[in-house]
Amino acid sequence: MSRRKPASQEEAKTRVVSINPATMEVIGEMPMSTPEDVKQAIRAAQKAFGGWARLGVAARAQYLLRARDYILDHMDDVTTTISMDTGKPMVEALNAEVMVVVDLITQYAKRAVRLLEDDPLPLTNPVIRMTKSSKIVYQPLGVVSVVSPWNYPFSLAMSGIIFALLAGNTVVFKPSTEVAVVGKKIEEIFTKGAVLPAGVLNMIVAAGSSVGTAIFEPPVQKIVFTGSTAVGKWIQQVAAKHFIPTVMELGGKDPMIVLDDADLEMASSGAVWGAFTNCGQVCSSVERVYVARSIYDRFVQLVEAKTKKLRIGSGLDFGVDMGPMISLDQLGVVENQVMDAIAKGAKVVTGGKRPEHLNGYFYEPTVLTQVNHDMKVMRDETFGPVLPIMPFEAEDEAVQLANDSIYGLTASVWTRDRSRAESIARRIQAGTVAVNDHAYTYGLPETPWQGMKESGTGVSHSDRGLLEFVYPQHLHLDHSPAIMKRRLWWYPYSKEAYEIQKMATDAFARTKNLPRFLANAFLNGKYRKTLF
């Protein structure tokens, strides 16, 4: 769905209209892909796969480096496009989107060459080792579908595309229609900047209701999806019918635990940034805070004061700290959760409404106290600028509260005691737990991004993330001399074959018997016929 109401239902089926959610200005229109367009994109990717895979990692990396250089040469244009299509501040568009992609390409254009080299496997059986060798070769999978969201439309989309292409796969890319203009910018980077061969990257513009299941079925061999848990479950069901593996980053309800010895100035600043960056529309944002009772009041005071200083407005204004929400629908989700919390006894410390002086999809950064786990705002993903704060009495209670969720993406622990922090972090059910920081590690290409429970499956970023896009094929090679016509385990079976295998079992378990076994196997005529 587009954010501007189409002129008619017919227009909604055929065109995507993008607006700046801060100004309501139309910034682009493009045709909606038809079901035939989707099939054509998949066919093109399938046709291009063989040639792209045969290029080798180093040659493919050069294409990616050209894409990186195009981004660097057009950095202001790329950053402005992201800010206009999402409403986020220019600083966030640069450091959380553009810089992440540039760093990812720079690191892995070199690193992928080494990571995807053939990997010899040591064989411990001395007799087998004399005539055999094994290695893992990393084969590309084929066509990969990358379905990306609207909250970080550049970095999240590019992360999947970059690793898929480096590994030798071809891509069908579907951006969210909320941010189709950013999707077109990505397509431009690869067509004009990298000058990819035809069919290697194929973009489609389609809403979930119209795309069908084609990009989640064969010949697609891998699915990369970032979005809601509900949609992720539906895609997983489709993929499971064909045993297609997936990498999914889904919902989050990420906790922040502030211990009694925490630096309150730092922790309160971290909470405000972690909750309100990108207007809270971050899968790893601080969505609930648990604070030691002894420091609770002071922590709330600091958070309130810092939240009230945040400047709200158009992301194109460099004096703005927080932009709008992406859509009226998402704004409604946030309002519903805040009203539910208030109805159940929560107190609004600051915020809690739309600012009257702004026309876009804005909502004031909101701090809530007197919250509990009966409220939606403490259970359901908010994905908006709301920060609920709850006290705890003991560490065990804090850990229990943090783990009381169907989600497990990221979390944070705030304390001056590193050993205490690590002890608690190891007990938290989350893919990433940070100490004295929160939410930012997706910006580190070398660290894994992963969720547990209903926050996702598979890994993005890091060496493990790259290996998601290859099949580790085992090659077992024979180096036997031409005179050796048989293998010890082949037909015909015999008493001699049994005896020599019994000796082998004993020899390999007790290496002191190995010389005797080798002498018997290769010098004793009674046994030689089992081998030659």
Q: Which parts of 337-466 are beta strand (E)?
A: 347-350, 366-369, 386-392, 407-408, 410-414, 432-435, 452-453, 456-457
**What are the angstrom distances between the C-alpha of 121 and each of 333, 414, 468?**
53, 43, 20
H helix intervals, 87-228? 90-93, 99-115, 126-131, 155-166, 180-188, 208-211
Q: Which two tokens stand for residue 495?
A: 């008493």
For 19-67, give the DSSP string. E-TTT--EEEEEEPPPHHHHHHHHHHHHHHHHHHHHT-HHHHHHHHHHH
DSSP state of 460: B
Which residues 6+ apart lie within 8 Å of 29 measured at CB?
Answer: 15, 16, 17, 18
Which residues 6+ apart lie within 8 Å of 478 measured at CB?
Answer: 131, 132
339 CB burial (10 A radius; 0-12, 13-18, 19+) = middle
* Phi, psi angles (nearest 5°) of residue 95: -80, -25
* Residue whose structure tokens are 């389609």: 206
Ramachandran assignment for 248, one of left (phi > 0), alpha (psi -120 to 50 degrees), beta (any other): beta
Q: Of the candidates 30, 13, 20, which has an alpha carbon nearest to the alpha carbon of residue 207?
A: 13
SS3 category, 228: coil
**What are the angstrom distances between the C-alpha of 153 and each of 241, 341, 350?**
29, 30, 30
Residues serving a catalytic function are 249, 283
Question: CA 246, CA 383: separation in Å to the nearest integer?
Answer: 23
DSSP state of 193: I
Q: Of the candidates 399, 425, 397, 376, which has an alpha carbon nearest to the alpha carbon of residue 253?
A: 376
Question: CA 40, CA 461: separation in Å to the nearest integer?
Answer: 29
Query: Is the distance from CB of 62 to CB of 54 less than 8 angstroms?
Result: no
Q: Give the end-to-end CA distance of the chain in Å, rounded to a whole number.
A: 71
